[in-house]
């Protein structure tokens, strides 16, 4: 009985949400005719400008790399304060966890738009926005890893009269290092895609070209950019997955 009620509840919720958001098959099918148009415009891709904008691909990669680094650098101490296995202070734990939730609530595109307004339409704005974004993810994942550490593993440090800093350096850092690096690589992968997207709001990198070509209706150029980006992301994902597997395995 309970199970049936649960299923019914979700069916009703789904239908209500569809109705409220005006989801209908009709509009989906109507949209498809436009898809035909886009696809025919996109193919064959025009690679003539890819070499010209290649430096901007590199900029996108640089943005992703630098912001992952900043994010990770900030996330490490904050995660330490948020985790009650490491910092035995309820007030600090709650305060920093609240702060982390707050940071993660802000959508990345909104953050990017805000940074562009503050710092101008350039890669720096994008880097600041992505750093916050990276910080949000890494600190959350790292803090969860820290919480799951076995507290008995700090006993040797405590037993010899070691300080809080010693506990972090010799008890915690080596124990969570593989996870931490793995999270950084994962966020770097996400950041490459995100760096391309936030370029749409003017935050530099390849996204700027996507935006320009979109406005000009040059869809065959957009497809060439997307295919190149896809190739770059695929290569980096492949390498990063290999490294992460080794980190977690050892």
Partner 1 sequence: MKSLLKIENISKKYPNSKKHALFNFDLDIFPGEVIAIVGKSGSGKSTFLRCLNGLTETSNGNIYFKQRDTKSMSSKEYRKYRTNIGFIFQNYNLQDRISVLDNVLTGLLGQRSPLMTTFGLWSKQDKEKAKSILFEMGLSQHIQKRADQLSGGEKQRVSIARALIQDPKIILADEPVASLDPPTAKKILDDLKTKCKKRKIAVVINLHDIEMALKYSDRIVGLRNGKKVWDSPSSEATKESFKQIYQKT
In the complex, the residues that contact partner 1 under the rule CB under 8 A are 152-153, 155-166, 168-171, 174-175, 177-178
C-beta of 176 vs 187, nearer to partner 1: 176
Burial class (CB in 10 A: 0-12, 13-18, 19+), 167: middle
User: CB 175 → partner 1: shortest distance, Å?
Assistant: 7
User: CB 176 → partner 1: shortest distance, Å?
Assistant: 10
User: CB 187 → partner 1: shortest distance, Å?
Assistant: 22
C-beta of 1 vs 165, nearer to partner 1: 165
User: CB 148 → partner 1: shortest distance, Å?
Assistant: 16
C-beta of 45 vs 162, nearer to partner 1: 162
Show the 3-state SS of the chain.
CHHHHHHHHHHHHHHHHHHHCCCCHHHHHHHHHHHHHHHHHHCCCCHHHHHHHHHHHHHHHHHHHHHHHHHHHHHHHHHHHHCCCCCCCHHHHHHHHHHHHHHHHCCHHHHHHHHHHHHCCCHHHHHHHHHHHHHHHHHHHHHHHHHCCCHHHHHHHHHCCCCHHHHHHHHHHHHHHHHHHHHHHHHHHHHHHHHHHHHHHCCCCHHHHHHHHHHHCCHHHHHHHHHHHHHHHHHHHHHHHHHHHHHHHC
C-beta of 73 vs 230, nearer to partner 1: 73
User: CB 155 → partner 1: shortest distance, Å?
Assistant: 6
C-beta of 28 vs 159, nearer to partner 1: 159
C-beta of 27 vs 163, nearer to partner 1: 163
């Amino acid at each position: 009985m309970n199970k049936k009620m649960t299923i019914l509840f979700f069916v009703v919720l789904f239908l209500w949400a569809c109705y409220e958001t005006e989801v209908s098959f009709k509009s989906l099918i109507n949209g498809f005719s436009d898809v035909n148009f886009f696809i025919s415009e996109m193919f064959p891709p025009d690679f003539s400008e890819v070499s010209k904008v290649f430096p901007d691909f590199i900029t996108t990669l640089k943005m992703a790399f630098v912001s992952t680094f900043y994010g990770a650098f900030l996330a490490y101490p904050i995660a330490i304060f948020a985790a009650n296995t490491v910092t035995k202070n309820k007030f600090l734990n709650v305060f920093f966890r609240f702060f982390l939730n707050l940071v993660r609530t802000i959508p990345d595109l909104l953050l990017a738009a805000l940074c562009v307004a503050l710092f101008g339409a350039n890669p720096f704005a994008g880097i600041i926005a992505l750093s916050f974004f990276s910080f949000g993810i890494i600190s959350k994942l790292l803090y969860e890893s820290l919480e799951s550490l076995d507290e008995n593993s700090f006993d040797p440090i405590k037993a010899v009269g070691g300080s809080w800093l010693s506990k972090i350096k010799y008890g915690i850092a080596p124990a969570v290092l593989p996870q931490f690096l793995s999270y950084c690589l994962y966020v770097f992968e996400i950041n490459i895609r995100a760096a391309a997207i936030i370029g749409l709001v003017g935050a530099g990198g390849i996204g700027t070209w996507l935006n320009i070509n979109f406005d000009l209706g040059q869809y065959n150029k957009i497809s060439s950019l997307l295919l190149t980006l896809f190739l770059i992301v695929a290569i980096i994902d492949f390498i990063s997955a290999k490294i992460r597997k080794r980190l977690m395995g050892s």
